[in-house]
Amino acid sequence: MDLVVLHSISLPPGEYGTGCVQQLFTNTLDWSAHPYFESIRGAEVSAHFFITRTGELWQFVSVQDRAWHAGVSNYRGRDNCNDDSVGIELEGLEGLAFEDVQYEVLADLLAAVSQAWPIAHIAGHEHVATGRKQDPGAGFDWARLQRSLGFAPRCFPEGVGVTD
């Protein structure tokens, strides 16, 4: 495990605090509860962690186990990013801003994960599934995350605004 993939998710899209993301990742989502859910019925997805808009941290999969968050993917010359990455979902909508508390919890989580695993890369879903996914999107502040972690710019995707 040397890659962290960041995602954004809200269920239904644009609605926060519904508990539906947690239901999706625990296979308890009521598919009939919202018309959008029919479009994702049968999706077999999971993530290691989920950070709500209020900073609540949920863990669904052990970092020692594979989660199904990246899909068809390629990063740093390797396919199948699910094989060696930790997937972290941030409650939000791709392209929109995230909450201060989410960055704080994310930084603490990444610091803890990096104590156990040699994190060499942190990328967005948009970077590992180019052209297929756009999250977390332009609203995610990569430079802020880099400053809070103190990780070298080489740990982040090119062109996201991190500096020495």
Task: List pLDDT tens digits, range 90-130.
Answer: 999 999 999 999 999 999 999 999 999 999 999 999 999 99
Distance CA 160, CA 164 (A): 13
Residue 34's pLDDT is 97
Q: Is 146 exposed, middle or buried (0-12, 13-18, 19+ CB in 10 A)?
A: buried
- Determine contact, residues 38/61, Cβ cutoff 8 Å: no
Per-residue pLDDT of 8-47, as tens digits, reads 999 999 999 999 999 999 999 999 999 999 999 988 899 9
pLDDT band at 84 (very low <50, low <70, confident <90, very high): very high
Q: Which two tokens stand for residue 110?
A: 């990444």
Residues acting as catalytic residues = 89
44 or 4: which carries more pLDDT confidence? 4
Do you find a cis peptide bond into 136, omega within 30 degrees of 0?
yes
Q: From the centroid of its chain, how far is CA 131?
A: 17
Residue 125's pLDDT is 98
| Whether pLDDT at 7 is above 80 | yes
Return the sign of the alpha-carbon dihedral for residues 1, 144, 140, 88. Answer: positive
Report helix angle 142-149 to 100-116, nearest 10.
50
- pLDDT cut 90: percent of the chain above it: 93
| Whether pLDDT at 88 is above 80 | yes
- pLDDT cut 70: percent of the chain above it: 100
| Whether pLDDT at 162 is above 90 | no
Residue 44's pLDDT is 87
Q: Is 112 exposed, middle or buried (0-12, 13-18, 19+ CB in 10 A)?
A: exposed
Say how many Å lie between the first and final Cα of the chain, rounded. Answer: 25
What ranges in 7-55 are assigned the alpha helix state H? 20-25, 37-40
What ranges in the chain are assigned the alpha helix state H? 20-25, 37-40, 100-116, 125-128, 142-149
Average pLDDT, the chain: 96
What top-level class would CATH report for the domain 3-9+45-155? alpha beta
Predicted model pTM: 0.96
Report domain extents, the chain.
Answer: 3-9+45-155
Residues 6+ apart with CB under 8 A from 29: 11, 20, 23, 37
